[in-house]
């Protein structure tokens, strides 16, 4: 039976996450490396203030560390997976776990991604709103009728997340309710995976020029394409850079993973958001 690790995304963060993994040798080395790159990060992650942890510039490095820590723990407990996938920010630790990126490169990438996405969110503002109970095509049409509003996270057949500017948020919520759906604002600090994040893609593309991006040792399914990362190193770099400003195709990804024979999914990260989405995609 093939198993996949699912690396959690932004929004799942909570103070104290990964504390139960700290005794593992691999996690101690991970914490040390992360602390050198981001002084104070481990203390914030384990014992800090939730409000500060929720800032994108802190959340993304913290989730990178926590996801990897949980992956090492899960491997010890139940064995290695045959494939991996990360949701949004989770894609970077998934690539490190799969051997495509070194830990050092992963830390560089997550640091720049967090910084650029934080700056973009401060410039544009915006919100992420989960639309429940409507199909993706209806959500796409509804979003297109509003200024600076995009369907960006395809989580399940009846759950699609929209990125929207602050000015259009109330009108979008009203339109969703009028069509019989529910609109739930997410606990993130900006409108991600949309054109607002183009500077992050540009910056990551520049950084990638000097990054060694190997073929993963096990399949890694990309948010951008819902397919495995391929043979071309340049294509792998482009795929990861574009991910920051493009939709997350999680429903399609799960279909492709199941078609490839994967039938067990283990969430690595705090919480069980992705496990819940797997159930909704059954």
Catalytic residue among 105, 193, 245, 246: 193
Q: Specify whether 88 is catalytic.
A: yes
What is the token pair recorded at 65?
Answer: 């560390």
Strand 127-132 and strand 159-164: the pairing is antiparallel
Tokens of 201: 């893609």
Report the distance separating Cα 88 and Cα 113, nearest Å. 11
Say whether 102 is catalytic. no
Distance CA 59, CA 50 (A): 10
Among 88, 168, 189, 246, the one annotated catalytic: 88
**Helix 56-78 / helix 103-124 crossing angle, nearest 10 deg:** 140
Beta-carbon contacts of residue 247 (< 8 Å; ≥ 6 apart): 150, 151, 152, 153, 154, 193, 223
Burial of 133: CB neighbours in 10 Å, binned 0-12, 13-18, 19+: middle
Query: What positions carry a catalytic annotation?
Result: 88, 193
């Amino acid at each position: 039976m093939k198993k996949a690790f699912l690396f959690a995304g932004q929004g799942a963060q909570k103070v104290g996450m990964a504390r139960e993994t700290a005794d593992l040798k691999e996690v101690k080395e991970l914490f040390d490396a992360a602390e050198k790159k981001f002084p104070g990060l481990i203390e914030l992650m384990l014992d800090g203030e939730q409000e500060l942890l929720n800032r994108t510039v802190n959340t993304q490095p913290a989730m990178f560390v926590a996801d990897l820590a949980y992956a090492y723990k899960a491997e010890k407990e139940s064995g290695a997976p045959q494939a991996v996938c990360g949701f949004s920010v989770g894609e970077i630790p998934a690539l490190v776990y799969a051997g495509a990126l070194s830990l050092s490169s992963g830390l560089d990438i997550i640091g720049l991604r967090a910084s650029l996405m934080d700056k973009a969110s401060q410039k544009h503002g915006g919100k992420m709103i989960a639309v429940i109970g409507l199909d993706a095509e209806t959500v796409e049409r509804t979003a297109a009728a509003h200024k600076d509003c995009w369907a960006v996270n395809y989580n399940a057949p009846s759950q699609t997340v929209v990125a929207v500017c602050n000015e259009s948020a109330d009108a979008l919520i009203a339109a969703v309710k009028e069509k019989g759906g529910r609109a739930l604002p997410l606990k993130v600090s900006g409108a991600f995976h949309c054109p607002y994040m183009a500077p992050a893609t540009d910056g990551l593309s520049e950084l990638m020029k000097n990054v060694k991006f190997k073929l993963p040792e096990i399949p890694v399914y990309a948010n951008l394409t819902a397919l495995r990362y391929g043979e071309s190193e340049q294509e792998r770099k482009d795929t990861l850079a574009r991910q920051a400003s493009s939709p997350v195709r999680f429903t399609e990804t799960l279909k492709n993973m199941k078609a490839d024979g994967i039938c067990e999914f283990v969430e690595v990260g705090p919480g069980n958001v992705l496990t819940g989405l797997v159930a909704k995609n059954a």
